Amino acid sequence: MATTTKSRLNLRVQTDTLAKIREAAEFQGVDVTSFVLEAATTKARRIALEEKVLSLSPAEVDQVADLIASDREPSSALVEAARKLKATNN
């Protein structure tokens, strides 16, 4: 059986901020810890995804489009990279 290690996170917030968080958690029907963890986790995932998104110039977009449209077989390096990416995302 796998064990899960838990860590502690302590926060200091202004009284009015905590009141807003408590109210929002109550509206959602969850405790403050669950509310804060969900909000932080959601934002962390979004930021991580944004950092992983590839930005291309218009010329690079055209180059990629041309490669996709071509009849060339993918190289072994590309096949391996796709396999690793798929394994990472599963």
Structure tokens at 55: 């930005």
Task: Report the pLDDT value the prediction gives residue 30, as an integer from 0 to 100.
Answer: 97
Residue-level pLDDT at 53 = 81
pTM over the 0.95 mark: no
Q: Are 21 and 13 in contact (CB under 8 A)?
A: yes
- Token output for 85: 């990416």
Q: How many helices (H) and strands (E) does the chain have?
A: 4, 0
Mean pLDDT by 10 residues, the chain (90 residues): 81 97 98 97 92 85 88 88 87
12-24 pLDDT, tens per residue?
A: 999 999 999 999 9
The predicted pLDDT at position 1 comes to: 57
